[in-house]
Structure 1
Amino acid sequence: MELNLAGKIVLVTGGSKGIGKAIAKAFLDEGAIVAISARSKEDLEKTRTELGSIGIYPGDLTISTTREQVFRALLDDYGRIDILINNVGGSNGGAAMETDLTLFEQAMHLNYLSAVHFSQMAAREMKKTGEGSIINISSIYGRESGGKITYNNSKAALISFTKGFADEMIKQGIRVNGIAPGSILHPTGNWQKRMEENPEKIHKFVEHEIPAGRFGTVEEVANVAVFLASEKASWIVGATINVDGGQSRSNF
């Protein structure tokens, strides 16, 4: 399927490893011009060495001024943005009563407010051309219990924002959608660490919790991202699509 993404300017936050790195590669394979941002300059440079010609923008994306600097640098280098992938994220804390309020705040800054801010900045630029695509990477746990509560809360907010912002921006020709991955296995992820620590427990988890009978791959998430960003998905607006092998228990 020809997705017509060649020459599109793409920014992937959290693009130096895992799902973000796979998404960056998928867009490169489609002929897009790709830039990635993450906290570690070393990881960004390593990814550029592996993937080839990509722009890298290091910075702590929980800080609003850093996000603005990254975005201005992107525009200075490329002149516009066509596709934004809000992928940066992470989890912290534990049970609600054992988690300091500051950790809830940190999770919101990383998983939610960073996406809101980048979306606002990108939408202002996309309005000038009358088209664009914004994709927010959330989680199936943004719809149901599972994982750490700080993570769930912030991803739930992101799913809600995706729909609300989509309804607002489609009038300007900008499509906003989301992807909710389930349990994805990759070398730098938490599932890999858990697998190494207790393989028997993780095999039982997969058997009981994932109907497809295996973990998902980063490439399977990336494939959905490039489709959603393309003109082939022109009538998909405000959706957050589960990519989870049937893991989610929700039916909406």
Structure 2
Amino acid sequence: MSRLVNKTALITGGTSGIGLETAKQFIAEGARVAVTGSSAKSVEFARAELDASAFVIEADAGNLAVQATVAEAVRNELGALDILFVNAGVAEFGPLEGWTEAGFDKSIAINVKGPFFLIQALLPIFSKNASIVLNTSINAHIGMPNSTVYSLTKGALLTLAKTLSGELIGRGIRVNAVSPGPIMTPLYGKLGMSEADSKAMATQIQSQIPVGRFGDVSEVAKTVLFLASDEARYIVGSELIIDGGMSNL
């Protein structure tokens, strides 16, 4: 396959789950790829998984100063950038009364502030036919209890996809979004729940998905690949929902 031959790509949060699978598919399609991860352990894992096929950067997605450092590293390694997949994020859930300012600020920083200023830092190196894909969520559309902060961050990203699409198209940069529903990723193991509670939550969520199962990371990655490729060059400011029909209920 050769849909991304001679293209360069940066994937944030590319050391596990959707990001790692997308990196593998981009590489298989001929792209030169850089990925970021939030810890030394995740970076080491990704380097082993991707071998020498990707440039792996340890970076805190919520640290404003780090975004310029990532942009400079990408410029030095890849030169011009053709594709950005903003995938790094945090999902923390809880009732309204349980939220603290620190927890709120953490979600905003990682899911919204960091991505915004990373895109700003990358502006000088985007090619004239570049594609940005933002990973949002169906939580921006549905009223799921205990998801207030997570949902508002994903809603902000979805709005950003629409507004930046209008602002950046004159530079030749297309901006779009993918909004996954429940996907089987390591995310569900990071919610601090017991195994029994985690299984009960998964069963409850699965009962709300018309196709009767969680999505696979490859299904999201293939959609991102399409939006990143020249096959989607007439798609601007759009959202592709990947949720097995869940948000249609």
Same fold, judged at TM 0.5 (above): yes
Aligned pair 1:224/2:241, yes or no?
no
Shift of 1:202: 2.8
Residue aligning to 2:82? 82
- Change in Cα spacing, 1:3 to 1:163, as seen in structure 2 (3 Å) is farther
Q: Distance in 2 between matches of 1:54 and 1:86?
A: 17
Q: Which runs of 5+ in 1 are unaligned?
A: none
Q: Match for residue 102 of structure 1? A: 102
Whole-angstrom CA distance in 2 between matches of 1:228 and 1:136: 10
Q: CA deviation at 1:3?
A: 5.9
Question: Equivalent residue of 1:130, what SS?
Answer: strand
Q: Distance in 2 between matches of 1:28 and 1:57?
A: 16
Residues 191, 236 of structure 1: alpha-carbon distance in 2 compared, 3 angstrom cutoff: farther
Q: Give, in whole Å, the separation in 1 of the partners of 2:101 and 2:131.
A: 34
Q: CA deviation at 1:201?
A: 5.2
Rounded to whole Å, the distance in 2 between the matches of 1:26 and 1:200 is: 32
Amino acid at match of 1:49: A
Alpha-carbon distance between aligned partners in 1 of 2:156 and 2:237, rounded to the nearest angstrom: 14
Give the SS at the match of 2:81.
Answer: coil
- Cross-structure match for 1:145: 143
Unaligned 5+ segments in structure 2 are: none
Kindly state the Cα deviation for residue 77 of structure 1 after the two structures are TM-superposed: 1.5
Distance in 2 (alpha carbons) for counterparts of 1:228 and 1:3: 15
Q: Which runs of 4+ in 1 moved over 3 A?
A: 191-196, 198-201
Aligned-partner residue type, residue 62 of structure 2: T
- In structure 2, the residue matched to 1:133 is 131
How far the C-alpha of 1:148 sits from its partner, in A, is: 2.0
Map 1:208-247 onto structure 2 (within 5 A).
209-247=208-246
Answer whether contact 1:138 1:159 (CA < 8 A) is retained: yes
Residue 4 (structure 1) shift: 2.7
Seen in structure 2, the aligned counterparts of structure 1 residues 142 and 3 have a Cα distance that, compared at 3 Å, is: farther
What letter corresponds to residue 59 of structure 2 in structure 1?
G
| Match in the other structure for 1:25 | 24
Question: Cα distance, 1:107 vs. partner?
Answer: 0.8
1:2-41 correspondence runs (5 A): 4-41=3-40
Superposed displacement of residue 7, structure 1? 2.4
**How many angstroms does 1:103 deviate by?**
1.6
For residues 18-59 of structure 1, what are the alpha-carbon distances to aligned partners after superposition, in whole Å with 9 as ceiling and x for unaligned?
A: 111111111011011111111112211211211222101102
Q: Which amino acid aligns with 2:152?
A: N
Taking the aligned partners of 2:194 and 2:216, their CA distance within structure 1 comes to 15
Q: Which piece of structure 1 moves more, 31-40 or 99-108?
A: 99-108
Quote how far apart the aligned CAs of 1:222 are.
0.1
Offset of 1:196 from its aligned partner? Answer: 4.2
**Partner Cα distance (2:14, 2:239) in 1:** 20
1:117 aligns with 2:120: no
TM-score normalised to structure 1 length: 0.91
SS in structure 1 of the partner of residue 246 of structure 2:
coil
Cα offset, 1:93, TM superposition: 4.9
User: How far apart in 2 are the matches of 1:42 and 1:192?
Assistant: 15
TM-score by length of 2: 0.92
* Identical amino acids, percent of aligned pairs: 32
CA distance, structure 2, for counterparts of residue 64 and residue 163 of structure 1:
23
User: In the alignment, residue 64 of structure 1 is paired with which amino acid?
Assistant: L
Whether the 8 Å CA contact 1:135–1:178 is kept in 2: the answer is yes
